[in-house]
Amino acid sequence: MYEDFLVRTDSLENVVENGETTGFKFAVRNANYRGIFLSLVTSFYVEMDGEEFPIDDIRFAVNGAAPRSMEELKKAVFEHWDMQDEAYLYVKKPGGLEKGTHRLGYMPGTIDGYGYKATDAEWVDNPPQPGKGGGKTYHVCNFTLELN
Amino acid sequence: MEKKIKRGVSIYSYSGEYGRTMDLEDCFKDMHDMGATGIEILANSHIDSYPVLSDEYLSKWKSLCETYQVEPAEYGHWIDTRLYKNRNMTGEEARRVLINDFQIANALGFHVLRTKMGVINGELAPFPEWKEVILSVLDEAAKYDVIMCPEIHLPSLLQDQFVLDYVDFINMTGTKNFGLNIDLSVFQNRFNVEGVVSYNQDTRHNEPEDIIPLLPYVKCIHAKFNRMDDDFNELTIPYPEIIRVLMDNGYEGYLISEYEGINKNVPGYVSHELRKQHVMMKRILGY
């Protein structure tokens, strides 16, 4: 039920740092009926135009802070990603994306369930691999984004 | 007739619209319109600045409760035991989170809390250290005048060992700050109904009278519903029998609606289903 508003489709932009285009970013929302503490955000599956991006190339920006890696998020145990708040995913891709239409496959991996599944305990030690589950979204969701 | 059983709404029900086509005030308006007098919020969902309570939110909250004649009925919060990398939460960390929630709940005017503890198996038994954690905050719960209530929810049954453990804990400690929230999903006896999503058609269920011995410990009831027909009947849970048992056995407290059916993100759909359910409950209650 949250699939249709996970990604804001007019939010795609290239990221320019120190005059150099280092990647792209887009706005995402929390795939759940509740906000969650940031350390429960563990992985993201991002596939753009058929290219998959490793989790080490993805950073997460929320609450006005600079983009953070998954390792940094793990330490944010008393900071919240509110249900209504957008965050930005920063994806490393030297040169960025071309102008025009892009196809995104996206799936968040969060450990915000309260333990229905055996995997929830397992994920404390080994966070879900991107695209392998987590949270309230159980499959990769597809979006068409326009870069102007 | 004295209205011992009251009708409320968990605004979790609106989660497909909340933050998109409805805001907090829209939830209050809708509840007022259907004659519901109590609200359940989920702290992590519906308090904008959580885990901090802002002055701005507090003043908006008070004004909404007064304008729409709705009282704080239940405060939903979590002990996210898997918050830390490579280890579970410690007792001291759980204590910190709990006391923070007690303070927020108290400021907003809540007394009953739905305390969601991390669970460890398919019957939803809580994490093993729950007793130590709860014991360590009983004094603060008393100070902030709140009652922590774990929710008993399908596929759990009312006689499951961990429910008995909760009751023993209350009796042994004599605490007035720990109780039970029963979700009516434990009575769901129909699963193969059109438009109802069910993960397991063979789920066990309780009979309505099974709740009687637990009633002294029950501080809140989640009026879970999945599907209403146009004649105001819920099609999966035996509401008339359950409410009759509650009335005959002196339950005093809220029936808080929790819609778990389809089309949650279709604007207006859940509001309509909630109205049908409240008409049903009014008719059975007789007021």
Give the pLDDT mean for B132-146: 97
User: Which chain B residue's Cα is nearest to A84?
Assistant: B19
User: Which chain B residue's Cα is nearest to A30?
Assistant: B45
**ipTM for the complex shown:** 0.84
Which chain A positions have a beta carbon within 8 Å of B264's beta carbon?
1
Nearest to B44 among A34, A120, A124 (CB): A34
Residue type, B9: V
* Domain boundaries, position A132: 3-147
User: Which chain A residue's Cα is nearest to B127?
Assistant: A115
Contact A40 B83 (CB under 8 A): yes
Chains A and B: how many Cβ contacts under 8 Å?
75
pLDDT of residue A117: 58
Nearest to A40 among B20, B80, B87 (CB): B80
List active site positions of B: 153
Strand-pair category, A36-37 with A20-28: unpaired
Nearest to B51 among A80, A83, A125 (CB): A80
Give the pLDDT mean for B138-149: 98
CB B42 within 8 A of CB B80: no
pLDDT of residue B82: 79
Which residue, B220, B225, B231, is CA-closest to B257? B225
Alpha-carbon distance of A57 to A52, in angstroms, equals 10
Contact B19 A125 (CB under 8 A): no
pLDDT of residue A27: 97
Which chain A positions have a beta carbon within 8 Å of B119's beta carbon?
114-116
Nearest to A115 among B48, B83, B120 (CB): B120
Three-state SS letters, chain A: CCHHHCECCCCCEEEEECCEEEEEEEEECCCCCCCEEHHHEEEEEEEECCEECCHHHEEEECCCCCCECHHHHCCCCCCEECCCCCEEEEEECCCCCCCEEEEEEEEEEECCCCCCCHHHHHHHHCCCCCCCCCCCCCCCEEEEEEEC
Q: Is the pLDDT of residue B271 over 80?
A: yes
Contact A74 B85 (CB under 8 A): yes
Residue A73 binned pLDDT confidence (cut-offs 50, 70, 90):
very high
Residue A133 binned pLDDT confidence (cut-offs 50, 70, 90):
low
Which chain B positions have a beta carbon within 8 Å of A33's beta carbon?
12, 15, 42, 45
Q: Is the pLDDT of residue A123 over 80?
A: no
pLDDT of residue B204: 87
Average pLDDT score over chain A:
88
- Please check whether residue A84 touches B, CB under 8 A: yes
Residue B1 binned pLDDT confidence (cut-offs 50, 70, 90):
low
Which residue, B121, B79, B85, is CA-closest to A43? B85
Average pLDDT score over chain B:
94
**Chain A interface mutation, best of B80, B121, B200, highest count of A Cβ atoms under 10 Å:** B80
Residue B173 binned pLDDT confidence (cut-offs 50, 70, 90):
very high
Helix axis angle for B24-33 and B55-67, nearest 10°, is 20
Contact A35 B44 (CB under 8 A): yes
Q: Which residue has the higher pLDDT, B1 or A101?
A: A101
- Number of domains chain A contains: 1
Contact B87 A39 (CB under 8 A): no
pLDDT digits (tens, 9 = 90+) for A88-122: 999 999 999 999 999 999 988 888 765 555 566 67
Give the pLDDT mean for B41-67: 97
Map tokens 């999903």 to a residue. Answer: B185
pLDDT digits (tens, 9 = 90+) for B181-201: 999 999 999 998 988 887 777
Which domains does chain B possess?
5-285 (3.20.20.150)
User: Which chain A residue's Cα is nearest to B77?
Assistant: A34
Contact B18 A80 (CB under 8 A): no
Tokens of A31: 């795939």
